[in-house]
A and B are shown apart, each in its own frame.
Chain A
Amino acid sequence: MPQTNTSLVRNLQIISQLVRGEFKLRYKSSLLGYFWTLFKPLMLFGVIYLVFSVFLRSPMQNYAVYLLLGIVLWTFFTEATMTGMNSLTGKRELITKIYFPRQTLVYAATLSSLITLLLNLLIFAVFYFGAGLLPGWASLLFLPYLLLLLLFTTGISLILASLYARFHDLSHIWEVILQILFWITPIVYDLSFVPEQFRAWLYLNPMTQFISFSRRIFLIDQVPSLKQHAVLLAVSLGVFAIGYWFFKKTEYKVAEMI
């Protein structure tokens, strides 16, 4: 029987050790370590900047800063959900030998991606201050945004991880979905370019809110409305709650499925 005395402290210890292990796995065995983490989003940024700013002559002010923020947040979402989805199947050896709360594996995966995000944000800061911009008070909202983004992403990862243990083609499906989402989330363009009748649809995707709100607080020092924040909070908490519920409901089968 699963032990019921699995306290929060124990889970935090497990998560902390798993994150450490993940960190080492990712960066100790590759030659340039963290360089790759920073290089990948920068590469994507460089290419898109070239196409949209130089070839297509986008008229947007501070487009580089604008674009980089979108890419950095988006990269976190893709990386965290992909590693989160694989976190159970990748740790098959642990799951079939020891009972421990399985969701800690998913948390460790998203937290590992959070470390990457924080490093990428350092690069963003270089571009931001390099462009002569200075943050206003509204920028402080970015911290709660990060927290909500983490919750939202973890919720999605919990669902993906649980489903992936059963259906292995989910990784292909999710890759396609991510590719589509990349273009219908305002990452390379601004929401104002989108015709009025489509805008509401784009807002159905929470990543739209995370990215456009973050841009507003950093670039035009403007605070989204209370209602918009309420929606963001409700969506993030809701997705996490659904993910947690779904994962818990299916957790007991994981050891037999993977």
Chain B
Amino acid sequence: MAQISVQNLSKSFLVPHQRRTTLKDSFVDFLGAGLWRRPVQEQFFALNDVNLEIGAGEFVGIIGPNGSGKSTLLKILAGIYRPNAGQVNLRGSVAPLLELGIGFQQDLSARDNIYINAALLGLPASQTRRLLPEIVEFAEIGHFLDLKIKNYSSGMRQRLAFAIAAHLDADIYLCDEVFAVGDESFQQKCLAVFRRWRDSGKTILLVSHNTGQIADLCDRALLIDRGQLLADGPATAVVELYHQTLSATR
């Protein structure tokens, strides 16, 4: 059985300026709907009828232009968004690495954030305490451990976020742009973690704009554009196709 299976998945959002955020708007809309007009609600499909099966141990890259729905797909798989239609089934535990380094509380120290994040990701405090030295060393934050996160640079934050995730023992890793920041030596470390995951049979989904890396690392790649799954196949072939469509539209 597949580790991840997605059937006829659709996700739409209402265009923000029509969202009701105050009671007054809601009240006006309510009156409006009843009395003279229905509120216009424009639907934007971030994902449209996506079908997907991913087996255990596959390393799948996801590519596509900005705003194509890649991150939305990962967020749905991570359980953060609920789809409007379709079925999503995941077997096993999930470690989400979405928009790295943003899921921290600014006014708390790195140490406190490590404990909180680890707990949210399902790690008991005793285990976090044991892993703490490793996480700190991996993130190279040494004596900044008790500094508040708001004083961290974006690179440090990302290193820390990745370090926490790297020490999670999950079945499925959902990674969104994990290579965006971080110097070259840190990127090497990240790559080593990805190889370790792959070699130990973990299932990995990696969203990246670095198509070279996708072709290098992944066995399989998905090309998503405007909410639709355009291609699904061997990584090098899909990356090739993506480059062709890019140059064709240019």
Contacts of B89-144 to chain A: CB distance below 8 A: 89-90, 93-94, 96, 98-99, 102-105, 107-109, 112, 115-122, 124-125
- Within 8 Å by CB of A18, from B21, B88, B116, lies B116
CA of A224 to CA of B107, assembled, Å: 46
**Nearest neighbor of B88 in chain A, beta-carbon distance:** A1
Are B112 and A24 within 8 A (Cβ)? yes
**Partner pick for B22 among A5, A16, A24, A168, CB 8 A cutoff:** A168
What chain B residues lie within 8 Å of A192 (beta carbons)?
none
- A interface SS class: helix
Asked if B214 is at the interface (CB within 8 A of a chain A CB), the reply is no
Chain B interface: which size bin? 35 or more
Q: Is A196 an interface residue, CB under 8 A from the partner?
A: no
B155-194 contact mask (Cβ, 8 Å, vs A): 1 or 0:
0000000000000000000000000000000000000000
Closest-by-CB residue of B relative to A90 is: B105
Number of A-B contacts (CB under 8 A): 97
A21 to chain B, nearest CB (A): 5
- Once the chains bind, are B80 and A99 in contact (CB under 8 Å)? yes
Q: Which residues of A contact B89 (CB under 8 A)?
A: 1
Residues from chain A with a CB closer than 8 A to the CB of B124 are: 9, 13
- Please indicate the chain B residues that have their CB under 8 angstroms from the CB of A97 in the complex: 80, 96, 98-99, 102-103
Q: Choose from A3, A16, A24, A98 the contact partner of B103 (Cβ within 8 Å).
A: A98
Do residues A93 and B102 form an inter-chain contact, with CB atoms below 8 A? yes
| A199 part of interface (Cβ distance < 8 Å) | no
- B215-233 CB mask vs A (1 if < 8 Å, else 0) is 0000000000000000000
Other-chain residue from A13, A99, A166, A173 in contact with B96 (beta carbon distance below 8 A): A99
Closest CB-CB distance, B1 to chain A, in whole Å?
15
If the complex has contacts A1-B89, A24-B112, are A96 and B21 also in contact, measured as CB distance less than 8 A?
A: no
Least Cβ distance of A14 to chain B in Å?
5
Closest B residue, CB atoms, query A96: B80
Contact A167–B79 (Cβ < 8 Å): no
- Tell whether, in the assembled complex, residue B108 and residue A25 are in contact, meaning their CB atoms are under 8 Å apart: yes
Chain A residues positioned under 8 Å from B122 (CB to CB): 10
What 5 pairs across the A-B complex have the smallest Cβ distances? A97-B103, A99-B79, A17-B119, A252-B82, A2-B79
Chain A interface (Cβ within 8 Å of chain B)? Answer: 1-3, 5, 9-10, 13-14, 16-18, 20-21, 24-25, 29, 91, 93-100, 166-170, 173, 252-253, 255-256
Can you identify 17 A-B contacts, CB atoms within 8 angstroms?
A: A1-B89, A1-B90, A13-B119, A13-B125, A17-B118, A93-B103, A94-B120, A96-B80, A97-B99, A99-B80, A166-B21, A167-B23, A167-B26, A169-B23, A169-B24, A252-B82, A256-B13
Residues of B within 8 A of A (CB): 13, 20-24, 26, 75, 77-82, 88-90, 93-94, 96, 98-99, 102-105, 107-109, 112, 115-122, 124-125
